[in-house]
Amino acid sequence: CPNRCFYFDEIPSTNAFLLQYTEELQCGDICIAEFQSAGRGRRGRKWVSPYGSHLYFSMFWHLPLGMSQAMGLSLVVACSLVSVLQQLGADNIGVKWPNDIYFENRKLAGVLIEMTGTADSGCNLVIGIGVNIAMPQQQGELIEQPWSDLRQVISDPDKTLLALTLQQQLRKDLKLFEQSGLAVFTERWHAADIYLGREVRLLVGNESVSGCYQGIDTQGGVVLDTADGLQHFVGGEISLRQA
């Protein structure tokens, strides 16, 4: 049965839209908008979402796994996006744990996964992806960290092709994740991880832990080599920063 694409010129948030209808959606249904008036990032942060050729993309998925197994999902989605950008000709695309896509140390895209109906039998997910394609300088000034856009990476980026390839790649990778877990993505993740082997600071709530970043573990958590030995960190309120 074919998937649906809900297309809007303007909407508060493509994630918020799909979250209203998770009971009626099928895996792979997507929502795309040209402009988001309330684009959101992790933990209530804003995703700057002006008009222009940017991708604001959300996809519904039902994951037949428990919450704890869904932990590594943003890493899988980030790997999918890296593969898609590579298929479109991009080199040197990096990932930063757990949900950011970078080009030359500047943020190019972000992933926000929201869940409803979580139970051990499975959860309904809305996978949101924002990719800057041609950010006007004036709008870029609203972003509080160094940013990049796809036109700096490849010539003539094609938004429709990006969206279609992304939907296909996500379907493939999510099925692979369901069957084989996160382990099969570890290599792809580490190949793109911008902090691997570098000194970092991990912000855990109000605390900061320093160490040499060793990459991800089988749960999708961060592994740090600290003064107290190897430590693993998993969970929501964690941010990774350059030391």
Check if the beta carbon of residue 114 is closer than 8 Å to that of residue 19.
Answer: yes
* CA distances (Å), origin 243, targets 97, 98, 208, 210, 221: 15, 17, 10, 7, 19
Q: Considering only residues 211 through 240, tell me which ones interact with ligand ATP, judged by CB under 6 A.
A: 239-240
Q: Per DSSP, what are the bridge partners of residue 55?
A: 131
What's the distance, CA 164 to chain centroid? 17
From residue 55 to residue 74, the character string flagging contacts with ligand BTN as x (rule: CB under 6 A) and all else as - is: -xxx----------------
Of ligand BTN, ligand ATP, none, which one does residue 145 interact with (CB within 5 to 8 Å by kind)? ligand ATP
| Closest to 103 in 3D by CA, of 141, 148, 144, 139 | 148
> Catalytic residue among 40, 96, 107, 188, which?
107
For ligand ATP, which residue of 29, 34, 100, 173 counts as binding (CB under 6 A)? 100
Nearer to ligand ATP, 170 or 194 (CB): 194
Which one-letter amino acid corresponds to residue 125?
A: L
| Closest to 118 in 3D by CA, of 65, 59, 72, 71 | 65
CA–CA distance, 211 with 113 (Å, rounded to integer): 28
Q: Is residue 42 annotated as a catalytic residue, yes or no?
A: yes
CB of 41 to ligand ATP, least distance (A): 3
Site for ligand ATP contains 173 (CB under 6 A): no
Binding residues for ligand ATP (CB under 6 A): 41-43, 45-48, 99-100, 107, 110, 130, 132, 143-145, 147, 239-240
Binding residues for ligand BTN (CB under 6 A): 13-15, 36, 39-42, 45, 47, 56-58, 99-100, 110-112, 128-130
Q: What positions carry a catalytic annotation?
A: 42, 107, 241
